[in-house]
Amino acid sequence: MTKSEELFDRAKKTIPGGVNSPVRAFKSVGGTPIFMERAKGAYMYDADGKRYIDYINSWGPMILGHAYEPVVNAIREKALQSTSFGAPTELEIEMAELIVSMAPNVDMVRMVSSGTEACMSALRLARGYTGRNKFIKFEGCYHGHADAFLVKAGSGVATFNIQTVPGVTAGVSMDTLTAPYNDLAAVQQLVDEHKGEIAAIIIEPVAGNMGCIIPEPGFLEGLRAICDKEAIVFIFDEVMTGFRLAAGGAQERLMVNADLVTYGKVIGGGMPVGAFGGRAEIMKHIAPLGNVYQAGTLSGNPIAMVAGLTMLKTLKDNPAIYKELDDKTEYLHKGLSGALTDCGVAHVINRFGSMISVHFSEQPVNNFAAAASANNLLFNNLFHAMLENGVYLPPSAFETWFISTALSTKDIDYSVEIAGEFLATLR
C-alpha cells in the first residue's frame, strides 16, 4: 500500500470523502487521490517521494512555478510581523493600486478571501446596483459554490454528474437563468423573456471548467452590447484568467470591457484570496460607502497581500513572461496533436494563452454539451497512464490544464512521449 492510500483511508474517517474539495477525490477518473508533500518549480512530490510534472499549478496561480523564491521570502518576512491583524494595512492599498494600474476598467477593488466569495459578492452588488434579482450564467461555467451558481455548473459538479444540488432552494434556482456558452441568440431570448428583470450576466471570458473553452468571435462583444442596451451589469469571472492570460487579464487580451471583474488564485501567489472590482459608479454601492453589505475578517490578509503583491509586480515588470507562457503552451499543443494524429485518435485541443485542454471528440468543443459528449473514458485512461509515469494532469476531463514558466521543453517532450506511448496501445 502506498502512503497516499494509507492517508486516504485515514482521511475518510474524519473528512467527508477524504478530501476538502470534491475533484481531488479522483471520482471522475477512478483510483486513489495522490497526497502531495512538497513542490518546487514545475514539479510536485507525493507522500512517497515520487516526482510529478505539474500541469495543474494549484489550478492556475503558480504562473512562475511552485515555491517561487521571491514570494516565499516575502511571506516568511511578513509572517514574522503577524499573520493577521483584523485591521487595515498599507499593503491592502498597494495591492488595490497595483490591480487598478494593471486591469482595464477597474477603478476600485474590494479584497475577499476566495474566488467563490468574490463572485458571490459581485452578483450581490449587481443586484443592489440595478434593483433586479435575476441573472444569466452559462452552462458549464463554474463561479464557486455559492447557491446561485450551482445551477448547471461545470467542473466538479459535472464530474460528479450532479444536476440538482440538494440545499439549493427552488427560489434561488428560479432567479438563475442559464444559456449555452457561445450561444448569443439564447441569451437574447432570455433577456427578451425577462425584460427589465436581469441584474447581471456573469461569464468566464475563457472558460476553464469544462475544459478550456474559447469564446467564438463576436460572442463576448455581443454580450457587451446586450448589457449596454438593457442596463445589465456585465461580470467577468477572471479567477482563472486574471493576470494569467495577460497583465490585464482577459479584458486586455480579448479587448472587451466588463463592468465588474472577479479575481482569485493568482492575486495571492497561491495563498487563499479573492477580490472583485470594477467601475467606481458601481463599486460605490458597497458598504460602507453604500448599502450593499459585504464583509470579511480576513479580507486583505497581510500574508496573502504580500504574496500577491510580489507575484503581480513580477508579472507587470516582465511582460516577456506572457510570451514564454504562450510559446510553451503552443509547444505542448503541437506535440500532443502530433502524437494523437500519429495514433489515429480523433481529438480536439483547445488552447488560449497558457490554458489548454484535450478532448477526444470528432466535433468542435465550444460549450458544455460538446465537452460532455466527448470520449471522457479515454481521457480517464490517459490520466492514469500519465500519472503512473510521473505526469500530473487535472483529474477530470472537465478541467483546463495550466502551464507555468518553470516547465521546460524537456518536461513537455517527456509528457508528449508518455502520451504517445499510451495512445499507441489503442491501435
pLDDT (average), residues 245-251: 97
- Among 142, 263, 322, 392, the active-site one is 142
Please compute the mean of the pLDDT values over residues 274-301 and round it to a whole number: 95
Domains of the chain: 3-67+319-424 (3.90.1150.10), 69-317 (3.40.640.10)
Parallel, antiparallel or unpaired: strands 134-138 and 198-203: parallel
At 170 the pLDDT is 72
pLDDT at 165: 66
Q: Specify the higher pLDDT residue, 188 or 22.
A: 188
Rounded to an integer, what distance in angstroms lies between the CA atom of residue 313 and that of residue 59?
A: 21
Q: Is the pLDDT of residue 154 over 70?
A: no
Q: ω before 215 within 30° of 0 (cis)?
A: no
* Residues linked to residue 263 through DSSP beta bridges, in sequence order: 275
Q: What is the pLDDT of residues 24-49, one digit of tens each?
A: 888 889 999 999 999 999 999 999 99
Mean of the pLDDT values across residues 105-134?
96
Q: Which helix (H) or strand (E) holds 356?
A: strand 355-359
pLDDT range class, residue 310, cuts 50, 70, 90: very high
> Whole-prediction pTM value?
0.94
For 2, what's the count of Cα atoms within 13 Å in the CB-facing half-sphere?
Answer: 15
Mean pLDDT value of segment 179-201: 97
Kindly tell me if the per-residue pLDDT of 211 is higher than 50.
yes
d(Cα 228, Cα 306) in Å, to the nearest integer?
37
- Specify the pLDDT at position 171: 73
The yes-or-no verdict on residue 374 having pLDDT over 50 is yes
CA dist 159 and 367 (Å) reads 15
The predicted model gives 300-309 an average pLDDT of 96
In contact, 386 and 303? CB cutoff 8 Å: no
The neighbouring-strand residues paired with 213 are 207
Q: What is the pLDDT of residue 151?
A: 74
> At which residue does the C-alpha cell 448569443 appear?
184
Catalytic member of 54, 237, 259, 411: 237
**pLDDT value at position 108?**
98
Residue 142 annotated as catalytic: yes
Q: Residue 256, SS3?
A: coil
Residue 159 pLDDT > 90? no
Per-residue confidence (pLDDT) for residue 152, from 0 to 100: 62
Is the confidence at residue 253, as pLDDT, over 50? yes
Containing 72, the helix (H) or strand (E) segment is helix 69-79
Task: Yes or no: say if 332 and 53 are a contact pair by the CB < 8 Å rule.
Answer: no
The stretch 114-136 carries a mean pLDDT of 96
**Whether pLDDT at 362 is above 60:** yes
Which of 27, 152, 265, 328 is catalytic? The answer is 265
Residue 158 reports pLDDT greater than 60: no
Specify the DSSP class assigned to residue 49.
Answer: -
Confidence of residue 160 (pLDDT cuts 50, 70, 90): very low
Per cent of the chain over pLDDT 90 is: 89
CA–CA dist 175, 163 (Å, integer): 17
Q: Pick the range with the lowest mean pLDDT from 19-23, 107-111, 375-379.
A: 19-23
Residue 59 has pLDDT above 50, yes or no: yes
Q: Is 265 a catalytic residue?
A: yes
